[in-house]
Amino acid sequence: MPMIETINLTKRYGDLVALDSLNLTINQGDCFGFIGPNGAGKTTTIKILATLLKPSSGQAMIDGLTVGYQNRQIRPLIGYVPDFMGAYQDMVVTEYLQFFAACYNIVGQERQRVVGDVLELTDLTDKSDAEVNALSRGMQQRLSVARVLLHDPKVLLMDEPASGLDPRARIEMRELLKELKRMGKTIIISSHILPELAEMCNVVGIIERGQLLFAGTVQEALRRAKVGHVVHVAVTARAQEAAEVLAKVPGVARVTITEGAGPAVNGAAGVGGGSGGGGGSPLVVVSLDPGARVDVSDIPNILINRGFRLTQFSEEDVNLETAFMRLTKGMVQ
């Protein structure tokens, strides 16, 4: 049984459809990266799963329990981390955690033990007597995670947990999330920091204008986004001529030069010019048609046989950012 499942999940605000028939399955132990532009429906989805919003239609289920009908049974199973935390004035870290532990009916020595454990897990033990409002943004985010771990939930719903964090705090948050994944938690993370999602998550979903465009493994997203090969070639001299040679190769869709500007070659092939200068060898970027018969490894041989000397040859990687840009259209609500 999936840990999280949505069936035609829809949320409307008047004429605005914030979430449009979302069908999503997340298995136990998955770390699911939820990707999409602002206004795409990520936060709406997470708030529905957190039992904070009612769907207009469709179903959302957590561990087989239906959101909206079995909320009392669902809430002990989940931990919700919003993008910004709130706290009472003058409350220190230990008091903050003690308060929420009491809300979950954790009492006596068990409460003391649990608070100590989550402080240690989130590396906040030395801040136990600090005022919450005096903590840095990164430490407040870690405290938010500590709070939702008090009752040992099965599912963590995290809305932009790295938003506004400096590089060190982001690294610390990333390592904490990796540890939670190793503990077997099922995690949903929405984020705009795509390289970190690719490192942390085993599955991702791409959403735009309330519609799910893709859901699957990171590797599947990269394969879908990879339309043809793109290779980078640097030659010691005559970059423009090398570009013209490659533009005539069957299966080559486009050739550009990264430095300078020049005439297009073969019309649609569109070779940009510039023989380079200052900044090292100009880079010739070759895009192949999907299914092109020419092998990527043939390109250096073609140039070498024409008397060119290569200083660089590499195939362009497709990462999660590339996949996101190719699979979305940049539309918002």
For the whole model, what pTM was predicted?
A: 0.72
The C-alpha atoms of residue 319 and residue 225 are separated, in whole angstroms, by: 9
- Read off the pLDDT of residues 266-317 as tens digits, 9 standing for 90 and up: 433 334 344 344 445 678 888 777 666 667 778 888 889 989 888 888 876 6
Candidate from 136-145, 150-159, 304-313, 315-324 with smallest mean pLDDT: 315-324
Helical pair 108-121 and 93-103, crossing angle rounded to 10 deg: 120
Q: What residues pair up with 232 in beta bridges, in sequence order?
A: 285, 314
Q: Which residue has the higher pLDDT, 19 or 37?
A: 19
Q: Are 151 and 76 in contact (CB under 8 A)?
A: yes
Q: What is the structure's pLDDT at 39?
A: 84
Q: Are 150 and 101 in contact (CB under 8 A)?
A: yes
The C-alpha atoms of residue 63 and residue 15 are separated, in whole angstroms, by: 32
Domain 4-225 has CATH 3.40.50.300: yes
The C-alpha atoms of residue 176 and residue 116 are separated, in whole angstroms, by: 16
Phi, psi of 111 (to 5 degrees): -65, -45
Of 97, 44, 75, nearest in space to 210 by CA: 44
Mean pLDDT of the chain: 83
- Read off the pLDDT of residues 227-258 as tens digits, 9 standing for 90 and up: 557 788 888 888 888 888 888 888 787 888 87
**Looking at residues 103-117, what average pLDDT do you find?**
93
Candidate from 13-17, 46-50, 68-72, 249-253 with smallest mean pLDDT: 249-253
Sign for the CA dihedral angle at 99, 104, 108, 109 comes to negative
Q: Are 287 and 255 in contact (CB under 8 A)?
A: yes
Q: Does the structure show a pLDDT above 70 at 145?
A: yes
Candidate from 30-39, 40-49, 318-327 with smallest mean pLDDT: 318-327
Q: Helices in the chain by DSSP H: which ranges?
A: 42-49, 71-74, 93-103, 108-121, 137-149, 167-182, 194-200, 218-225, 239-247, 298-305, 320-327
**Looking at residues 7-28, what average pLDDT do you find?**
94
The C-alpha atoms of residue 146 and residue 138 are separated, in whole angstroms, by: 12
Find where tokens 């409307």 sit.
12
Give residue limits of the domains in the chain: 4-225, 230-317
Token output for 179:
């540890």
Angle of CA points 91, 94, 98, to nearest 5°: 95
Q: Are 229 and 318 in contact (CB under 8 A)?
A: no
The C-alpha atoms of residue 284 and residue 258 are separated, in whole angstroms, by: 7
Token output for 230:
């793109």
Token output for 114:
């649990």
Q: Which residue has the higher pLDDT, 253 or 6?
A: 6
